[in-house]
Structures are given as C-alpha cells and as structure tokens.
Chains A and B, each alone.
Chain A
Amino acid sequence: MLHYIEEHTKTSSQPVGQSAIIENVSRRTILGGALVASGLVLAVKILPAYAREPMTPYPTGAEGMSDKTVNDPHVFIAIDKSGDVKIVTHRSEMGTGIRTSLPMVVADEMEADWSRVSLVQAPGDEPKYGNQDTDGSRSMRHFIQPMRQCGAAMRQMLEAAAAAKWGIDAKLCRAKAHKVIRLDASGKETGETMGFGDLAEAAIALPTPKVEDLLFKTPDEFTLMRKGETKIADLRNITTGKAIYGADVRLPGMKFAVMARPDVLGAKIVKYDASETLKTPGVEKVVEIEGFYDVPRKFHQLGGIAVVAKSTYAALLGRDALQIEWNNGENGSYNSAAYSKEMEATAAKPGKVIRNEGDVDAAFAAAKQVFTADYHGQHLVQAPMEPLVAVARVADGKAEIWAPVQSPYGARKDIAEALKLPLENVTVHVTLLGGGFGRKSKWDFMIEAALLSQKLGEPVLLQWSREDDTRHSFYHTTSVERIEMAIDDKGKVTGWRHRTVSPSILSTFAPDSGYQFPIEYGMGFVDVPFDVPNFRCENGPAKAHTRIGWYRSVSNIQRAFAVQSAVCEVAHKLGRDPKDFLLEMIGPDRKIDLKASGFPDDFWNYGEPYESFPIDTERLKNVIRVAAEKAGWGKTLPERQGLGIAAHRAFASYVASVVHVVIDDDGTIRVPEVTTAVDCGFYVNPERIRSQIEGAAVMGMSNAVYSGITFKDGAVEQSNYSDFNVATMHNYPKKVNTIIIEPKTASWHTGGIGEPGVPPFAPALANAIFAATGKRLRSLPMGEKVT
C-alpha cells in the first residue's frame, strides 16, 4: 500500500539539473546481466546519465525463509504531494546500519534525493514486508534484490506518470534526482521537468511493473550505493539523547518491573516470601510468572517472581528483599571445568562421521608424522550494552509490545500463543536495539513482559538488570575441537580429521541428542575448503545443561580458531611460512565440488543455494593475499612482536585478518594493528562495512582474550562487566585497516557483513602470539597475559 501523505507540505529544496557524473571510461564487462566497471581511469564528463539495464534475479536463501521477500513499492514507499518520501525499513537496527542501508538501496534505485527521505520502522508483519528475522548476516544478502526491484519499479511508475501527463512515450522520460526529466527524440534534455511530488498521485495509481520489465541503474550511476558517504539515519538522535531504545518507551500509567529468575535452568520455586519486598517504598505488587519447563524450551519464559513498582529502582530494591527457595533439579550439577574434561575425552574417541572424503584411516596409517591438538572454547554471553527490556500493554483482548527485538514477527506469533490471543490482536513495535549479537532474536524477555502485563491489567516495562542479562542468556556454546593432520615424507598434508564436541543450539528447540545439526556443521566444520585428499569430520555427543543459542558468528568462532591455528602450527612444524602454507592448504582456484569432497547431502551453506553462493577458493585466497600484502607480511619486527594470519568464509563472505601483536614485559597482550580484507561480493555501504569490521576486531579481541562464561553447580559464575570482561579503550585493537574487495564478476553476489569479521581474529591473534613468543595458546579466552 502506497500512502499518499497530504499532511506534508514541505517544498523541494534541492533542484538539481544536469549533473557531473564521474564515469568510469575504462573497460567494462557485462557478466551475468549486470554491468561491472573495472580499472582505475576516471574522468569527469557531463552526460545525461540514463543508462539502465535489465538484470536477471539470482536465487537466494530468502526463498527458504518464512514469508520470503516482498518487492512491492506500494508496501515500502510513500511519496507525498510535496515530494517527501517515506521508506519502510523492515529489518531491526542493532548497530549494523541496516535501517539506513536498505532504504538507501531503494532511494538510489528510484532516484530519490536522500535528504527528502524519512524512514518508517515496520512493526512485526512478515506477510506484509517479507522476512524480518534480522539475524545470520542476511539483511543485505536477501533484500538487496527486492529493494532494488522496489526502487526501480517506483522509478518506472514515476516516469510512466510523467509520460502520461506530457502525452509522450515513457522512453522519453527519465527520473533523476527527485524529478522526471523530459527528453527529445534524440535523447537530449528539453529542460522540462516534473518533481516527484507532482507525480506521486498519478504514479501510485499505476500498476506495479513486472520484475522482468524492470531496468536497473548501472553502478556508475549510483548516488548512494557503494559510495560510503551516507550517514546513518539515527546519528543525530543518538548524539543528542533522543534515540528511542527499548527502555525509553513511556506509556500512560506504565509500571516498572524486574523479575527474579532461577539461576539454574529448569529450577522451580519451592516457596517464596515477599513480605519485605512489599514493604519496600515504591513497590506495588509481586506477581509470580509460571515458568515453562517442558522440552524443548524454545524461547519460552524462564518464570519467576516479578516485582512491580513505581520506578525501576524501587523494583530492584524490592527484588533484593525477596526470599526464594529453589529446587535446582538435574542441571544443578553442571560445572564447566569438569564438563570441559568430558568433552575432551569425547573428542579423543571416534564420533559420528559427518563428512568423509578419501581414506582417512589409510592416510594416517601411512603418515610420516601426525599432528594432533585440542582447542577449547568457553561459553559466551552476548552482553549487548542495552540489557534486555520490553514494554507491554495487554488489555481488552489486545496486546501491544515495544521491544529491541531482532525478529518481531516471530516474537509476535509466540506472544499471541502465550497470551492466548489471536495474532491480529497482537502488535510488536521495534525500537532501536542497543546491540543484539543474537540475544535479541530470542524473545523470552518479551513473553515475560506480555504475561506480566496481562496479569496486571496495566502497561509495564520489564527491565532486565545487567546481572539478569549475564545469567539468563541463550549462551554461545562451549567446545572442544580436535584437529589431526597426517603429513607425508614430502611435508604434504595427506589426511585431515576434525572432531567437534559441543552442546548444540538444537537442544533449545528439540529433545537433546547431544549431537549438532547441519547449521552448526556448516559453520567452519564440514565446509573447510582444503586441498587434502583424505578428509573426515566427526561429531561426538555433548548434552546441554543450559540454554544454548547463537552469538555473533556462532560456531565459526571455535571452528576458525581451531582450523586456522592448526594450519599455522603445522606450518611452523614443517618450517613453512604460515601464509604460504595456508594458501597451499587451500590449493588451486576452484569452486568446491561438494559431492566429490564428501560433503553431507544436507550441507547448510548459510541457507544459500550453492549455485549462487559456492565456496570459491579463489576468493578466499585473494583476501589472504590482500590482507598479507597490506599488513606488510614478512616484515621484520622487534623482539616479542609478531604477525599472525587467518582466513575464513562465513555467511557467504570471505575474510582474512593479519593481527600484529606486542607482548609487554609483564606478558600483557597488546594489539596495535589489525589488517582485514573482506570480500562480501557486491557491497552496498562501504562506510558501514568498515564499522562492522572495526567492531568485529574488538569483539574478536574480547572473545580471544577476555570473555568467558563458566558454570558452577548449574549457575553462571559471572554477573556483570566486572567479571564478564570485554575489550575497552585500554586494550582494544588500536588500528583496524579494512580493505573491501571489489567484486571481480557480477556473480560475486552480496554476502553477509555483520558476522564474518569475527572468526578470523582469534586464530590470527593466537598465531601472532606464537610468532612473538613461541607459545601456542589453544584455549579461549586466552587471558590477558602470556605467561
């Protein structure tokens, strides 16, 4: 539905005439339907820039997502009479910039002036907007095509409307910079134009052009895409304190609440005493929220005692005064140290074979030498700066929820079920997210708030304290990765065996078999593209004793750490340069033949069709070479300094990082510089790609050195940033150099960017530490000092 907005009366402020276009005058190639400019010779030329081209859509994994994609300009774009444009942004903003970047695609393709565009955040409604699950680095990967189609369709509707008004052929009408320009028969501008505002009403009334009739802007005509000059839409509000996050929502009569939850998963309340709580000034009510104890638990509420008050502070004080006796149940015996030993013992034994190529046993039997190492990873908590929070108003058979949520439609469906309300009576509004990292796509916190509001009959803001956020997450899993390599007498790796042991995310969604599932196998385990003829991946069982969930880049963290550390270890063992040896392990340029390489039939590939997003070793090697070159790989460094390299394909993008480490006299690990080359295919917003890569280095540093969640007697031992340590201004990687690879062909489709920067950091750092000190660190977190 295209809204025609009467109330806006602003007039066009930026008349634009013929503009100077920087045209790439060097060789162009047309590949796969899209035009790609290459070469470096630039010239400024005045031209009527109307080049448009057809584009055959390529299939993506969006087709496999719930409600897929929507490309209807009537849904996403509104233009008012004054020419002001509203664009619906339907994915959640948690810091990647996607709230800006997708509308930017629409605006560029439709020739809208960005200064005339305002954004409308969509509520949770996937049948209307397409998939909204902002997760898996999928937003640009899945929506660049629908959003370009949306913008192109709107542009063509505006051109058609102008053609009708002028009574000429639409071919003589060209949209440019928020107006339609009339051309003469020779293609020259007549000087006559009509603004988007004047055309809006007529354009709306036209049918949406078919996708096969759409023509798209050529990259040299982009005004926003690939430029990196567009500020995020919320920048001013963020810097002035006006941006609205979850806890900033205020409703008339709204109460403030916090909840006491079980420290051990599945623990039940034996009895509780709230008498002191109810004496706390400002506290109004104490409400028990029944927990959900069945398996699978999914995103159901943990349950507990909610304290409802006039202010958050009163609620917190009231909660402190609660006396609760819990029965911890079977998970009360979960202890991280002992569990890690169990996983290590499991990894020493054969597991379920997930990928098998060649004859691994024969390769090991014939090996001149064998390499074996175990790599350990602890649980992690996402710990976004904004702790979980939700505001709910449930009354008169209707529910409205405001929350910083990554997946508003999924939340809406489950909230409707929990409240026993029809879906159409539940509305989920998406605020800005103060970070997400995967935690905010699990909506237990919203279900709690909704249930509480329903019980109260009043609107309520349910705030999680930092301690709650730390202790009641869906944790990144803990793991042991065993890597073994068989090496022949010529120093070639002839056999590879990787055993992964780690409680599975699947345990949150299905009865726990202890084994992982294809999505986890697909993240840096079975998809390792090494040119080793005998290759086997095995999985040993590990049952979950806490809620396991996803955390930015998920299983890739521990897999890239193990695989990329192991390759470097073997390089040193063989006296080889780690970068050269890594390139040799990857082998010739090729797209991995899944069948010939023994991949499982259910290979995940980040949900993408393999023909659109193959594993391309040329691209992986390219980022390694570029990162190495830019970082000055091979340069001589002072004592106790070193460079380390690692590379990884994740979320259909290729990333290599070179970490420069300095080990202080007291052993402190410092990282003065990281150089990261990223190939995410056809990129859109280079400025936000850089910020994601800078942030990934910082989170990589946290994961590698500082952060860990451990359990004792079933409960999380950490509580706050005081003991769940993350990188700060004191110890972050000081300088991140980001190199964005230009796509070589149009078949390098848009990949993910939110997560792929994280996995290479930890192994690159471990490899750098080895180069600096000769010490090999195989456990995450490494701790802040090398001893």
Chain B
Amino acid sequence: MATITVNGESRTVDSDPGTPLLWYLRDEAGLTGTKYGCGAGVCGACTIHLDGVAVRSCMTTIEMADGKSITTIEGLSADGEHAVQKAWRELSVPQCGFCQAGQIMQAASLLAKNNAPSDDEIVEEMGGNICRCGCYQRIHAAVRLAAGGV
C-alpha cells in the first residue's frame, strides 16, 4: 500500500509496488495524458514530475513515489495556462503532439529550477526527449520564450 499525491490529490495505491507510474497513471488512475513511447527511459514521452522534478514515469515505480507528490500534464496548471503551455501554443510547437506532454513537463521542470537557462542548458535538459516529427527547433524556442514568464 502506497500513498501518492497525484496532481494535488492524495491517493492510496494498492497495486504491485513495482508497477511503473506510467501504467498506474494510464491504466488505473485514468490519466492518459502521460504517454507510453519506449518503456525504457530513452524517449521522454512519459515524463512527469516527482516532487517537482522531471522523471520518466516508465522507470519510476509506485514504491519509489510512496509518500511523494507527482504531477502529470493534467495537473501542471489548473487552467492549462502554465507559461510553458502558453509558449508551446504561441509558437505552434506540436506536429503530431504525442511527445509534447513529456516535452512540456521536462521544460517546466527545467524552468522551475533555472528561469534563465542558456542554450546549452536547454539542450542538456531537453536532450532525452525524442520528437520523431522533429519539432526541436520550436521546442528550443518555446523553452526560451517561456523562460521569461515562469
């Protein structure tokens, strides 16, 4: 039995403690905004925040989150107006959009700890989030745009 705060709401989780949060969120908690892309921590599509820091939910188990707080794309902001979300829309970043929840969560995590990242820091932080459509140029620009507003 684990207790996890999901998007501000405390939940008791009695699933197998070894279950990755990705599958708990998607198949049990009904939060499908977090995406499955690789299951191996190599694409970033499933990125969420664990106590405010970006982690890959496919590699983070229920056990690891016990007593902690997680935030998914659905909970990043109540009204969808987080500076990163706004910047993403302003620059029309997404193509297919599938990786973007992970990209946005990664960017929000970066900007929470560093509100004026250098280009190199953006690349370093975002470098593990794959976008097969190839939106990187706009992702980079949107992180910079959002940096002013976080």
Please choose the segment from A79-87, A231-239, A340-348, A598-606 that sits at the chain B interface, where 4 or more of its residues have CB less than 8 A away: A231-239
Interface residues of A in 683-715 (CB under 8 A from B): 687, 691-692, 694-699
* B132/A435 in contact, CB under 8 A: yes
Say whether, besides A97-B95, A241-B73, A313-B23, A695 and B134 are in contact (CB < 8 Å): yes
B72 shortest CB reach to chain A, Å = 7
B137 shortest CB reach to chain A, Å = 5
Question: Which residues of A are found within 8 Å of B127, using beta-carbon distances?
Answer: 728-730
* A729/B132 in contact, CB under 8 A: no
A264 shortest CB reach to chain B, Å = 23
In the complex, B27 has a CB within 8 A of chain A: yes
* B89/A385 in contact, CB under 8 A: no
Inter-chain CA distance A465–B58, complex, in Å, is 12
Say whether, besides A235-B89, A241-B73, A695-B95, A312 and B37 are in contact (CB < 8 Å): no
In the complex, B101 has a CB within 8 A of chain A: yes
Closest to B43 in A: A721
* B92/A435 in contact, CB under 8 A: no
Say whether, besides A232-B94, A240-B73, A243-B97, A720 and B40 are in contact (CB < 8 Å): yes
* A311/B23 in contact, CB under 8 A: yes
Inter-chain CA distance A435–B94, complex, in Å, is 11
A384 shortest CB reach to chain B, Å = 6
- Convert A222-250 into 0s and 1s, putting 1 for each residue whose CB lies closer than 8 angstroms to a CB of B: 00000000011011101111111101101
Interface residues of A in 233-285 (CB under 8 A from B): 234-236, 238-245, 247-248, 250, 256, 281-282
In the complex, A732 has a CB within 8 A of chain B: yes
B121 shortest CB reach to chain A, Å = 11
In the complex, A387 has a CB within 8 A of chain B: yes
Say whether, besides A385-B132, A386-B35, A466 and B40 are in contact (CB < 8 Å): yes
* A256/B38 in contact, CB under 8 A: no
Interface residues of A in 364-397 (CB under 8 A from B): 383-387
In the complex, B68 has a CB within 8 A of chain A: no
Inter-chain CA distance A346–B88, complex, in Å, is 50
Inter-chain CA distance A131–B97, complex, in Å, is 25
Inter-chain CA distance A732–B73, complex, in Å, is 26
* B89/A694 in contact, CB under 8 A: no
Inter-chain CA distance A465–B37, complex, in Å, is 8
Inter-chain CA distance A242–B75, complex, in Å, is 11
In the complex, B1 has a CB within 8 A of chain A: no
- The one of A687, A695, A730 in contact with B133, judged by C-beta atoms closer than 8 angstroms, is A695
* B96/A241 in contact, CB under 8 A: no
Question: Which residues of A are found within 8 Å of B51, using beta-carbon distances?
Answer: none
Inter-chain CA distance A386–B139, complex, in Å, is 19
Say whether, besides A239-B89, A721-B38, A734 and B95 are in contact (CB < 8 Å): no
* A387/B36 in contact, CB under 8 A: yes
Chain B, interface size: which category? 35 or more
- Among A241, A243, A248, A694, chain B packs the most CB atoms within 10 A around the CB of A241
- The one of B36, B89, B98 in contact with A384, judged by C-beta atoms closer than 8 angstroms, is B98
- The one of B20, B80, B132 in contact with A383, judged by C-beta atoms closer than 8 angstroms, is B132
In the complex, A628 has a CB within 8 A of chain B: no
Question: Which residues of B are found within 8 Å of A310, using beta-carbon distances?
Answer: 27
In the complex, A787 has a CB within 8 A of chain B: no
In the complex, B26 has a CB within 8 A of chain A: yes
Inter-chain CA distance A312–B16, complex, in Å, is 13
Question: Which residues of A are found within 8 Å of B134, using beta-carbon distances?
Answer: 694-699, 727, 732
In the complex, B100 has a CB within 8 A of chain A: yes
In the complex, A161 has a CB within 8 A of chain B: no
- The one of B20, B123, B131 in contact with A730, judged by C-beta atoms closer than 8 angstroms, is B123
In the complex, A124 has a CB within 8 A of chain B: no
B40 shortest CB reach to chain A, Å = 5
Question: Which residues of B are found within 8 Å of A239, using beta-carbon distances?
Answer: 80, 85, 88-89, 94, 100, 104
In the complex, B65 has a CB within 8 A of chain A: no
* A698/B136 in contact, CB under 8 A: yes
In the complex, A432 has a CB within 8 A of chain B: yes
* A236/B89 in contact, CB under 8 A: yes
In the complex, B128 has a CB within 8 A of chain A: yes
- The one of B27, B42, B132 in contact with A722, judged by C-beta atoms closer than 8 angstroms, is B42
Inter-chain CA distance A735–B97, complex, in Å, is 21
B78 shortest CB reach to chain A, Å = 10
In the complex, B8 has a CB within 8 A of chain A: no
In the complex, B45 has a CB within 8 A of chain A: yes
Write the residues of chain A forming the contact surface with B, with a CB cutoff of 8 angstroms. 93-97, 231-232, 234-236, 238-245, 247-248, 250, 256, 281-282, 310-313, 316, 383-387, 432-437, 463, 465-466, 687, 691-692, 694-699, 720-722, 726-730, 732, 734-736
The 6 closest A-B pairs by CB, nearest first: A241-B33, A698-B134, A434-B98, A95-B96, A241-B73, A95-B95
Since A311-B15, A385-B99 are in contact, a sample of 17 more A-B pairs with Cβ atoms closer than 8 Å, ordered by chain A residue number, is: A232-B94, A236-B80, A239-B89, A240-B73, A240-B74, A241-B33, A313-B23, A386-B37, A387-B36, A698-B136, A699-B134, A721-B38, A721-B43, A722-B38, A728-B129, A729-B140, A730-B123
Write the residues of chain B forming the contact surface with A, with a CB cutoff of 8 angstroms. 15-16, 19-20, 23, 26-28, 30-40, 42-43, 45, 72-74, 76, 80, 85, 88-89, 92, 94-101, 104, 122-123, 126-140
